[in-house]
Chains A and B, each alone.
Chain A
Amino acid sequence: MGEGLGLAWMAEIPLVVANVQRGGPATGLPTKTEQSDLIVSLNPGHGDMRLPVIAPGSIEEAFAAGAEAVNWAERYQGPVILLTEASIAERSQDVPRPDTSKIHAERRAVSDGSHGNLRYAGASGSPFPVPGGPGAYVANGSEHDEQGDTTHLPDVHVRMTERRFNKLHALETGTYEAEHTNASVVLMPWGGSKGPAREAYLRMAAQGADLGWYYTMYLNPLPPGLLDELRSKDLVIVPELNYLGQFSGYLREMGVNARSIRQYTGLPFKVNALMASIQEEMQTVSGKLARV
């Protein structure tokens, strides 16, 4: 699996992989839910890559996320991971009918042959030659030059690596939810933990807790502006269903003071227990501030 996704990243082949997370590793807990595939979704293979990831947090979001994942794949010409989990994928639920007028199907830019066979020319993407049409080239999983021929030249590897990462900027178009943004401590769930986290947040807000709310299904690349906001917080609390604290680790890597509330039982969060854990996290911060 990983080698194939590496090939799609390297050869610039648009595709969407839906990863429905269940308890792992190996066959793990095949009928239970978990959020433990974030790291492998971002970096599924060997080598320098970071795949785009969209993780819907509800049935309604899943509808939009599927369409957007295809749009992303077409726009940046590469693999996109649609990351859901058993608790969403196996749920039946009544939802309001989605507004399809808000969905716009994007198609990749197709080569008209004016670039000859230089399929990989350009610092941040280029039109896609379709077999049968003009612009014949070699889609190559080895490092390659502009026409797809294998090369080991250091300067070409540098240029092409930067091109592949530059293409991700075209996906910095996502949106996010933000509430009570003045708070210095905020709650930021991802994926299917959004439901119980939202419930916990609303109850705590009703009780007057000084807690902010952030949420996005666009995990990589993150929507523009979101990181700056998160970096300004004393603490970003991330409820997530894995041992490693995968999303908080990802945020810390980018300079956010994030900490996880971790659960790895194979079951979703329960709201009361989650509220108690959030309280504890909030107290550690206020305790630290008091000691200073």
Chain B
Amino acid sequence: MYSIMRKEVLRLDAQLKRGILEICVLKALSGGDSYGYRIIKDTQDVIDISESTLYPILKRLEGGAYVRSYAAEHNGRLRKYYAVTERGAARIGEFIREWQEIARVYAYIQGGETA
């Protein structure tokens, strides 16, 4: 029983983390179009995203039309830039509302324990 619960928790953690990373990338793009390496640098103070973690996140976001990409010339080579779409911007707001809901539940639980 314990091991099953433990596994559930780990799985949830992975999903939670994946979701948070996606929102962080959207947030990083909401200040203006950006590219892979800069997204990693811009988010490194709050969360650790490696190059190989970022790749599937960007693909997923693009596949879901949360971001769009285009190639632009930079120093004689092509660099891939990403821009947040309207849908991506809406997703950030949605995330914040979801977490407010969780925060309410959290406050209730915490209040219950100290009472």
Does B bind A? no
